[in-house]
């Protein structure tokens, strides 16, 4: 044991840093549970208490949840934490954090396999582990119940097991297949991102796989196949509304744009010019390519991050640190100079294809769907840092430049920490659905004074916060969910309309204010309540308001007497 610690001192330091960065203040930053996190936690609670998901199915593999049919591994991983810590933010987020920490170890192992036999492999392993431990992108998706982070962790492990299998441990192939299968049970997007990895491995290493014993191959294929069967079934079952909503193919070019092309070019849809240069499939293909490129843009990687969502990275900063740009370029150069063995080719493939599922989706950029990129890019960082320090070693001014780089790096990382801990909560609180927890607590305090509580309906799924923060007994919820749930006509996320005497619906203040003995919870930015009504204390009672962390008004709690 002592020997193990001695040999892996640096790795252990990296793991410790990773753990601190992923566990510190986990329940307070991100500043609030997003509804997707809350539903994972509550479903785990429901499994723990009743063995059933919130919709009442017994030990489901895919959870219906809001109607988006979430693969359920995260929920099962969460059950023991809920059992130990109770139903709260920490317990909900812990599995992601723990897998995030383990990924640092997995990537260390993977890099060792990728560059097996190279003199510099050991140093790059350490560098990569450190870079992943402090990677803003990876930290971000380890903090919070992001299924994608767990799926990534499993993917890295599975690739490592695969390489180990073809390097003398054939039976590892079965484990690899199982772990690959588990990714699909963890995260929707894994269907494509794991598919890409499997495809690259199958093409590049076909000869090595064939050399393994037949039995092992058969077992692996069977194991993997059986594991993903439920996911495949769900695919044919029509539970793909989500896919349709997010796929780029559901969003053709705007009618107006097409008309302008036709008008200005004085052509029709049948003209050869339209078919050859402007037709819909070409437009779509260009769109996909453009999205794909976006994920390699400096804007995304270094300066601005995911510009489509404020929940996916820090404000005023990218998915990587500023100084990482230098190491990325150096890493690219170092990798490009290597002789193309198959494992290096695999790394190229993975790097290029990792944003694929993001490229085929609606948003122009998406840090979650492209999360797998973080591993090949962090390996580039490791290679870049190794090549830089190797270059500086022994040079007269080497130590000086190394010190300069290190100081810049520390500065850059401090900037990130400041952005994450000071600025991100303030600027992003409403995107983490901040306020629902505080609202539920305030409603609980006064609810017995009213007949009915009307909460403004929203795709933020207010019901889940009542369940979560009231630790509402799952049996009772399962009994009424059918009456409450209104599926979406598009097969996407649906809505829940009531919970006991709480109703979730749109609020029309001018009509609703005429009712009596009701408590209204309104979103200040969608429903305007005239301030004169607040002054009318005979009819209305202003109970409280909840502000977002940037001091803008979030919710108003109003009683109608």
Cβ 508 to another protein, closest distance in Å?
Answer: 36
Q: Does 413 participate in binding another protein (rule CB under 8 A)?
A: no
Structure tokens at 113: 């396999």
Q: Does 431 participate in binding another protein (rule CB under 8 A)?
A: no
Bridge partner list, 58: 52
Residue 202 CB-density burial (10 A; 0-12 exposed, 13-18 middle, 19+ buried): exposed
Q: Which is nearer to another protein, 222 or 345 (CB)?
A: 345
Q: Does 276 participate in binding another protein (rule CB under 8 A)?
A: yes
424 to 29, 97, 226, 312, 325: CA distances (angstroms): 9, 19, 42, 10, 22
Q: Does 407 participate in binding another protein (rule CB under 8 A)?
A: no
Cβ 351 to another protein, closest distance in Å?
Answer: 11
Taking CB under 8 A as the rule, which mask of x and - marks residues 235-254 in contact with another protein? --------------------
Preceding peptide of 115 cis, ω within 30°: no
Bridge partner list, 557: 521, 544
Structure tokens at 399: 């130590």
Nearest Cα neighbor of 557 from 450, 475, 460, 470 is 450
Q: Does 28 participate in binding another protein (rule CB under 8 A)?
A: no
Q: Does 415 participate in binding another protein (rule CB under 8 A)?
A: yes
Cβ 27 to another protein, closest distance in Å?
Answer: 21
Q: Which of 273, 308, 309, 470 binds another protein (CB under 8 A)?
A: 273
Q: Does 426 participate in binding another protein (rule CB under 8 A)?
A: yes
Q: Does 322 participate in binding another protein (rule CB under 8 A)?
A: yes
Bridge partner list, 542: 558
Cα gap 162→435, rounded to integer Å? 45
Q: Does 20 participate in binding another protein (rule CB under 8 A)?
A: no
356 to 190, 194, 276: CA distances (angstroms): 11, 11, 25
Apex 396 CA angle, 392 and 401, nearest 5? 50
Q: Does 275 participate in binding another protein (rule CB under 8 A)?
A: no
Of 26-34, 297-305, 389-397, 457-465, the segment contacting another protein by CB under 8 A is 297-305
Q: Which of 85, 120, 249, 296 binds another protein (CB under 8 A)?
A: 296
Cβ 285 to another protein, closest distance in Å?
Answer: 10
Q: Does 310 participate in binding another protein (rule CB under 8 A)?
A: no
Q: Does 341 participate in binding another protein (rule CB under 8 A)?
A: no
Cα gap 458→465, rounded to integer Å? 12
Of 86-94, 215-223, 289-297, 451-459, the segment contacting another protein by CB under 8 A is 289-297
Bridge partner list, 52: 58
Q: Does 336 participate in binding another protein (rule CB under 8 A)?
A: yes
In sign, the C-alpha dihedral spanning 191, 194, 198, 204 is positive
Cβ 260 to another protein, closest distance in Å?
Answer: 8
Of 104-112, 193-201, 299-307, 509-517, the segment contacting another protein by CB under 8 A is 299-307
Of 25-33, 53-61, 293-301, 399-407, the segment contacting another protein by CB under 8 A is 293-301
Cα gap 143→267, rounded to integer Å? 53
Q: Are strands 502-505 and 498-499 parallel, antiparallel or unpaired?
A: antiparallel
Structure tokens at 296: 């390699």
Ranges within 127-146 binding another protein (CB under 8 A): none
Nearest Cα neighbor of 322 from 415, 404, 406, 389 is 415
With CB under 8 A as the rule, give the number of residues binding another protein: 32
Q: Site residues (CB under 8 A) for another protein?
A: 261, 264-265, 273, 276-277, 286, 289-290, 293-294, 296-299, 302-304, 316, 322, 325, 332-333, 336-337, 414-415, 418, 422-423, 426-427
């Amino acid at each position: 044991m002592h020997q193990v610690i001695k040999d892996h001192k640096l790795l252990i330091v990296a793991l410790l840093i990773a753990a601190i960065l992923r566990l510190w203040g986990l329940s307070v930053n991100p500043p609030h549970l997003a509804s997707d996190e809350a539903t994972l936690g509550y479903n785990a609670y429901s499994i723990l208490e009743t063995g059933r998901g919130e919709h009442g199915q017994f030990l489901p593999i895919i959870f219906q949840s809001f109607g988006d049919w979430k693969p359920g591994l995260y929920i099962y991983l969460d059950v023991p934490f809920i059992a130990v810590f109770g139903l709260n933010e920490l317990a909900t987020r812990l599995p992601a954090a723990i897998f995030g920490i383990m990924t640092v170890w997995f990537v260390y192992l993977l890099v060792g396999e990728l560059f097996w036999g190279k003199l510099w492999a050991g140093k790059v392993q350490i560098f990569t582990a450190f870079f992943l431990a402090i990677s803003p992108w990876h930290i971000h998706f380890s903090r919070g119940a992001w299924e994608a982070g767990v799926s990534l962790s499993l993917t890295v492990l599975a690739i490592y097991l695969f390489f180990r299998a073809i390097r003398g441990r054939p039976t590892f192939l079965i484990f690899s297949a199982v772990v690959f299968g588990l990714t699909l049970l963890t995260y929707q997007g894994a269907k494509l991102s794991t598919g890409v990895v499997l495809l690259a491995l199958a093409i590049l290493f076909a000869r090595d796989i064939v050399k393994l014993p037949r039995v092992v191959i058969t077992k692996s294929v069977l194991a993997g196949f059986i594991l993903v069967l439920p996911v495949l079934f769900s695919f044919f079952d029509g539970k793909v509304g989500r896919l349709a909503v997010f796929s780029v193919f559901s969003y053709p070019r705007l009618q107006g744009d097409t008309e302008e092309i036709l008008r200005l070019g004085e052509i029709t849809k049948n003209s050869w010019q339209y078919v050859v240069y402007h037709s819909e499939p070409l437009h779509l293909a260009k769109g996909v390519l453009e999205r794909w490129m976006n994920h390699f843009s400096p804007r995304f990687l270094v300066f601005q991050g995911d510009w489509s969502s404020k929940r996916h990275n820090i404000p005023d900063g990218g998915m990587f640190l500023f100084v990482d740009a230098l190491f990325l370029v150096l890493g690219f150069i170092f990798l490009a100079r290597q002789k193309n063995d198959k494992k290096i080719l695999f790394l190229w493939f993975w790097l290029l294809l990792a944003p694929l599922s993001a490229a085929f989706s609606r948003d122009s950029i998406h840090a979650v769907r492209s999360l797998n990129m973080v591993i090949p890019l962090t390996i580039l960082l490791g290679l870049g840092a190794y090549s830089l320090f190797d270059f500086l070693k022994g040079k007269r001014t080497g130590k000086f430049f190394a010190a300069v780089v290190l100081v810049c790096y520390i500065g850059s990382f401090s900037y990130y920490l400041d952005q994450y801990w000071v600025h991100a909560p303030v600027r992003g609180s409403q995107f983490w659905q901040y306020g629902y927890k505080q609202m539920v607590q305030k409603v609980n305090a006064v609810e017995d004074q009213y007949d009915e509580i009307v909460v403004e309906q929203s795709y933020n799924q207010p019901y889940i916060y009542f369940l979560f923060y009231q630790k509402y007994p799952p049996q009772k919820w399962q009994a009424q969910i059918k009456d409450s749930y209104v599926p979406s006509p598009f097969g996407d996320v649906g809505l829940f309309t009531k919970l006991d005497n709480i109703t979730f619906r749109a609020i029309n203040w001018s009509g609703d204010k005429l009712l009596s003995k009701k408590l209204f919870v309104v979103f200040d930015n969608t429903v305007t309540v005239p301030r004169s009504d607040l002054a009318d204390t005979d009819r209305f009672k202003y109970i409280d308001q909840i502000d977002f962390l940037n001091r803008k008004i979030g919710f108003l709690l109003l009683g109608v007497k």
